[in-house]
Structure 1
Amino acid sequence: MSVLVSRLAEWIADQRWYATKGRQPRIRVIGALEGAVPAGHPHAEGATVVSYLLIDEAHEKPVLYQVPVVHRDAPLEGGETFLIGEVDGRHLYDGPHDPAYAASLLHQITHALESSGEGATASGHALLDPGVRVDSRVLRGEQSNTSIIYDVEGGPVPHVIAKVFRVLHHGENPDVTTQAALTSGGSRRVPTSFGSLTATWPDPGRESGTATGHLAFVQEFLPGLEDAWRVALRAAEAGEDFSEQAFELGRTVAEVHQVLAETLDTVEAGPDEIAGALESMRRRVRIASAEAPAVAPFGERILALYDRTAHVEWPRLQRIHGDLHLGQALYSPERGWVLLDFEGEPLRPMPERSRPDVTLRDVAGMLRSFDYVAGSLAHSEPPVDASAWASTARRSFVDGYIAASGTDVRAQRALLDAFEIDKAVYEAVYEARNRPDWVSIPTSAVERLVARSAPPVTA
């Protein structure tokens, strides 16, 4: 095992999804889940599928990785790029790129099979039968996960995609549970979910001594569709009217919220929930005032607005998207807008991402995204003034949301503005760290929203 661990440590240090860049991994195996390749699979001979759960203690806060590996008696034809190395005379390949693992994963999920090893266990959970795998390939360019695209026959769709999580966390992954709830509720506004794979592993830091989380999930794959960001950017640059598309996108978001409210728990927004949300928002203002100085002059007025929203009526809290923007929507000629990636805000801990939240947060996120279309074009060469386009698109989006939800979110203007300011403050920190030339996009929005909803603070 020591030779295997050393080889895996060398290999993961060079992977895009390895979180502790620049440090030598210090890993140990806490689980080794052996998968079963379907009988008669053409690549099964001489292959053993094992998913290793590896704790890396190179960082102050240990990180848990999932590394699926196929051990082969003989080299895999065409697999040189994905070879991890040779150990004890066997060839080790990165699992998602090996057809034996791809077949094993889909088989375990769709047949609800269990596996175990080294104190860990895994269970497949099937929602629908996707059909029979014909071929598989890995989606290129991903940073934090690895996705396998399957061509299937005999099921409701021609292609499915399995997202394999490389970094594991305790707790439900909302991308899995939210889309499963939407599929169960009959929504066609998200890719159909087919099932997932969960695992339990040793965790001495938890009172129970174990942790549980998602390893992978399978959903419908929609190839060849453009996301709303590209569609909107092209329309704005050409000065084309986007109000109908924005209206329908607003309807889509409202319909998704409605199904989530029907299929998952909702809770009253009590004093504790409101106080917790506002404290997070205040904390972001303090961080932004330090890292993006252009936010600082508005800090007191923003905080005063937040204080006032503590005394207005908040809608019931429910599951939401959590990180909604134009890049999270695809346009299908047959189905209209389809929403993707329900993992929530990446910087929030996994348990927090599944908590009931305010639907206005999603509305605010999409409004900010329309504003970013205009902001990005203002920074193009030559610059394009799309401010009027963005205003019309924002208004149409809200009109569509109101039409489908029956809730006049404009009557909650102060609360909606507070969430949009919160998102803009978050963006200001991001831009200050990554694209300083773009920090004016969110800070201009902060200035505009503060002028509308946050009167000057008087002594």
Structure 2
Amino acid sequence: MKHASAGTGIDLPPGLDGWAGGQRWFAGKGHSPLLTSIGQWALPSTEPGVRIRCHLVLDTASRFSTVYQLPLTERAAPLPQTGPRGTGPRESVSPALIAQVTGPDGLPRYVYDATHDPAYAAALLDFVLSGGSAPAGDDSGVNARGETIRTPAAGGLRGLTVVASRVLSGEQSNTSIIVELAGADGRPGRPVICKVFRVVADGQNPDVSVQSALALAGSRFVPEPVGAVWAEWTGPFAATRSSGHLAFVQEFLPGVEDAWRVALGAAAAGEDFSGPARALGAATAAVHRDLARVFPTVESTPDVVDQLCSTMRERYRLAAREVPELARHSEAVAGVFARAQAASWPRLQRIHGDYHLGQVLDAPGRGWVLIDFEGEPLRPLSERTLPDMPLRDVAGMLRSFSYVGATIASRDPAAGPAALAWATTARAAFLQGYRELDGDTFTGQEPLLAAFELDKAIYESVYESRNRPSWLPIPLLAVAGLVDDAAGMPLTLEGVPLEPHAPQQQATRRTP
């Protein structure tokens, strides 16, 4: 059971490297990881025969000092694999099984990815709600504590017990567990979702801090938070202790679809989406207004503008090295960024940071609900928590609407013209809804929106080249269309749709 450790004396199970390398959240695509322990903390379990250890590990085979969180359960008896709902347990080996080891008593132990183990879900929720504490021991290196957020959602969980849990499929950067609850009388309670952050970094995770601040400020456009797990650890190369969020618990909205699927279905059926798009624009503007109220804003001084534009230029330079097809647009890209730098810039504020249709839920009787405020996962946490331009979020959503049209067109070329017209109408309606709440938002800022759309397409080109090469033509065509449009005619935000020449738009990490 011996495995590399960073002087912590902590053993990791065999086979962990190969298992981690095959997970969707593992950021080091293209190489086999070599994981090194930098610490762990024990999560108390009330289930007999179950031991829970939450490890922080470093991939020493990567040139990046990325720290991953690997919660593991060790069981004296194997965890039954459950089949489709209603079929009951099956005898085959659970896919969450990482290794079988021998315990000190000579008997077998079964090590699992804890997120698939009901004992972990129950223990994690109890740790948060009870304000639990796991002090760092001599060999653990990690000090963790549970934090409850005072919201109606948290208060409504008192007296409930966990009856079932399941991992949400489709995520790529985290692991979310849907936890079903019931009262003492067996009546179902309000479910919650426990998001386990797989990549951890020093500092507050914006999904926790931003969403909690919005909810406590009375926003109806975000799920209600319940609590989080905060931890301190010693990084592999840091002289001082690091600290950050490891998990986030919030209300779960059952029976909902994300806006991507809703919009894609409407576009495929040829249904007008102007009303929902307009409502989404208004919800987006309301969230931006609340963010500017609860977080500090920053003046767009020449130095600040220069820094932001320099970041976009540097991102393009690095992207062109990784995706050579981008290099042929160097002069046009430089022109787009130059026009943006010369434009009028408003104050900077906190934003969503990775905004698209997959980050919005259509909740029956409630309307649009924004989720996942972590920002773009390829950017460092220190960058994702900085004040930014609300137009960056607007650009992301406009690109997402255009991508709906491009997706329909790629499936059925004959339906392409109608699908792209659908996207044009949806984009215009979204802008109209946004302007209805804040009519002065876009005045003189057309070059900024063009630059942010281009910056997003460049980002997606890198993402697709690393993760879904067959999708790479989508952002590449978007880059070509955006630079052509920016060079050929000024975009307008005064009620005229902004439809790129090349319709293919962003392929995000959460869209199909």
Scaled by the length of structure 1, what TM-score is found? 0.89
CA shift at 1:289, angstroms?
5.4
CA distance in 2, matches of 1:242, 1:277: 34
CA distance in 1, matches of 2:341, 2:313: 12
Partner of 2:349: 318
1:106-117 counterparts in 2 under 5 A? 106-117=125-136
Partner of 1:148: 177
Per-residue CA deviations over 1:219-248 (Å, capped at 9, x if unaligned) read 121232222222222222333221111110
Say which SS state the counterpart of residue 136 (structure 1) adopts.
strand
Partner of 1:76: 79
Partner of 1:27: 35
Preserved CA contact (<8 Å) 1:305 1:453: no
Per-residue CA deviations over 1:301-356 (Å, capped at 9, x if unaligned) read 44234334334331111110111111211212211111121111121111110111
CA distance in 1, matches of 2:141, 2:285: 44
Preserved CA contact (<8 Å) 1:73 1:91: yes
Letter in 1 for 2:75: R
CA distance in 1, matches of 2:58, 2:325: 41
Letter in 2 for 1:336: G
Q: Pick from 314, 326, 335: which aligns with 1:304? A: 335
Range 397-406 or range 246-255, more displaced: 397-406
Q: Pick from 275, 280, 284: which aligns with 1:249? A: 280
Range 101-110 or range 71-80, more displaced: 71-80
CA distance in 1, matches of 2:29, 2:145: 31
CA distance in 1, matches of 2:24, 2:458: 29
CA distance in 2, matches of 1:453, 1:48: 62
Q: Pick from 393, 397, 422: which aligns with 2:426? A: 393
Say which SS state the counterpart of residue 45 (structure 2) adopts.
coil
Cα distance, 1:353–1:446 mapped onto 2, change above 3 Å: same
1:437-456 counterparts in 2 under 5 A? 437-438=473-474, 439-453=476-490
CA distance in 1, matches of 2:439, 2:384: 26
Say which SS state the counterpart of residue 413 (structure 2) adopts.
coil
Partner of 1:278: 309
Say which SS state the counterpart of residue 274 (structure 1) adopts.
helix
Partner of 1:137: 166
Preserved CA contact (<8 Å) 1:157 1:220: no
Preserved CA contact (<8 Å) 2:336 2:450: no
CA distance in 1, matches of 2:188, 2:436: 31
Per-residue CA deviations over 1:239-286 (Å, capped at 9, x if unaligned) read 322111111010010111111112222121222221111012222443
Partner of 1:402: 435
Cα distance, 1:54–1:306 mapped onto 2, change above 3 Å: closer
Partner of 1:421: 454
Preserved CA contact (<8 Å) 1:66 1:168: yes
Preserved CA contact (<8 Å) 2:144 2:229: yes
CA shift at 1:379, angstroms?
1.9
Partner of 2:250: 219
Letter in 1 for 2:72: V
Preserved CA contact (<8 Å) 2:450 2:482: no
Partner of 2:12: 5
Preserved CA contact (<8 Å) 1:375 1:441: no
Q: Pick from 117, 121, 140: which aligns with 2:143? A: 121
Partner of 2:237: 205
Range 166-175 or range 150-159, more displaced: 150-159
CA distance in 2, matches of 1:156, 1:190: 23
Letter in 2 for 1:143: Q
Cα distance, 1:12–1:326 mapped onto 2, change above 3 Å: closer
CA distance in 1, matches of 2:298, 2:21: 43
Partner of 2:193: 161
Letter in 1 for 2:110: H
Say which SS state the counterpart of residue 314 (structure 2) adopts.
helix
CA shift at 1:448, angstroms?
1.7
Partner of 1:457: none
Say which SS state the counterpart of residue 419 (structure 1) adopts.
helix
CA shift at 1:51, angstroms?
1.1
CA distance in 2, matches of 1:428, 1:94: 32
Partner of 2:102: 87
CA distance in 2, matches of 1:369, 1:219: 26
Say which SS state the counterpart of residue 161 (structure 1) adopts.
strand
CA shift at 1:390, angstroms?
2.0
CA distance in 2, matches of 1:428, 1:246: 26
Say which SS state the counterpart of residue 276 (structure 1) adopts.
helix
Preserved CA contact (<8 Å) 1:48 1:72: yes
CA distance in 2, matches of 1:394, 1:437: 22
CA distance in 1, matches of 2:33, 2:239: 27
CA RMSD, Structure 1 to Structure 2 (Å): 2.7
CA distance in 2, matches of 1:231, 1:375: 15
Q: Pick from 344, 350, 370: which aligns with 2:381? A: 350
Alignment size in residue pairs: 448
Preserved CA contact (<8 Å) 2:167 2:175: yes
CA shift at 1:108, angstroms?
0.9
Q: Percent identity?
A: 46
CA shift at 1:400, angstroms?
0.6
Letter in 2 for 1:100: A
CA shift at 1:296, angstroms?
5.3
Say which SS state the counterpart of residue 317 (structure 1) adopts.
coil
Cα distance, 1:68–1:426 mapped onto 2, change above 3 Å: closer
Partner of 2:8: none
Letter in 2 for 1:449: A
Cα distance, 1:157–1:303 mapped onto 2, change above 3 Å: farther
Cα distance, 1:420–1:56 mapped onto 2, change above 3 Å: closer
CA shift at 1:201, angstroms?
0.8
In the alignment, structure 2 segments of 5+ residues that lack a partner are: 4-10, 83-92, 492-512
1:102 aligns with 2:121: yes
Cα distance, 1:278–1:437 mapped onto 2, change above 3 Å: closer
CA distance in 2, matches of 1:306, 1:21: 31
Per-residue CA deviations over 1:3-49 (Å, capped at 9, x if unaligned) read 642524454344443444565543332222111235xxxxx112222
1:181 aligns with 2:213: yes
Range 375-384 or range 108-117, more displaced: 375-384
Letter in 2 for 1:36: P
Q: Pick from 47, 66, 70: which aligns with 1:63? A: 66
Cα distance, 1:116–1:249 mapped onto 2, change above 3 Å: same
CA shift at 1:112, angstroms?
1.4
Cα distance, 1:445–1:387 mapped onto 2, change above 3 Å: farther
Q: Pick from 270, 285, 290: which aligns with 1:259? A: 290
Cα distance, 1:202–1:401 mapped onto 2, change above 3 Å: same
Cα distance, 1:307–1:51 mapped onto 2, change above 3 Å: same
Say which SS state the counterpart of residue 411 (structure 2) adopts.
coil
